[in-house]
Amino acid sequence: EVQLLESGGGLEQPGGSLRLSCAASGFTFNTYAMTWVRQAPGKGLEWVSSISASGDGTYYADSVKGRLTISRDNSKNTLFLHMNSLRADDTAIYFCARIVWAFDHWGQGTPVTVSS
Amino acid sequence: IVLTQSPGTLSLSPGETATLSCRASQSLSRSSSAWYQQKPGQPPRLLIHDASSRATGVPGRFSGSGSGTDFTLSISSLEPEDFAVYYCQQYTGSRYIFGQGTKLEI
């Protein structure tokens, strides 16, 4: 069974940093591209970033480019999202998902709140 | 590219058929289109990929169609568990875009 478990969210001040993790199991992690999607409170879905199976290709939404960095450790079956220079509008639930044609399996999400 | 979903809210009864629309501001390939269902407090669930292919385990009452700039999700014989928010998604140039969602309510 495919499982994705996010962690690392929490309350952070504007300008601060967080690192989100997504632990994957139930599939061969290093053969799938992965992605992060966020959802602000009461709002719709926003694609944040994606990474190729090997990790050598990374892609970002304009809203996060230069502040958020996606990475993966295929030896540990883990996806990361490094978040710097956090802003209030980064407040959201952050989901990781596996990419197969579209986003076929999702984690439950981890909440990030940016507030002073 | 902007995806516009309509209507914003659709009010129907169990047993009826729902038709949800997603219009793109530019023409896109069929293979880039997907639909998701999201219920409160849950992550999204993939329903349709490649415009018309049902994801594993998705009931046959869900169907997708369309090409170019107009894509449609149809749900026939609505079941109580189908009332949720639905999002369309397009993939283009290594980026993904979501529509703003359609709320299907009883």
pLDDT in tens, B62-73: 999 998 899 999
Smallest CA–CA distance from B33 into chain A, residue? A102
Q: Which residues of chain A neighbour B87 with C-beta distances below 8 Å? A: 44-45
Do A45 and B87 make contact, defined as CB atoms within 8 angstroms? yes
What is the dihedral angle through the alpha carbons of A110, A111, A112, A116, rounded to the nearest 10 degrees? -150
The mean pLDDT of A42-70, rounded to a whole number, is: 97
The mean pLDDT of B8-22, rounded to a whole number, is: 97
- Name the pLDDT band for A78 (thresholds 50, 70, 90): very high
- Name the pLDDT band for B31 (thresholds 50, 70, 90): low
Q: Which residues of chain B neighbour A44 with C-beta distances below 8 Å? A: 87, 98-101
Residue A24, pLDDT above cutoff 90: yes
| Greater pLDDT, B105 or B31 | B105
- Name the pLDDT band for A101 (thresholds 50, 70, 90): confident
Do B43 and A109 make contact, defined as CB atoms within 8 angstroms? yes
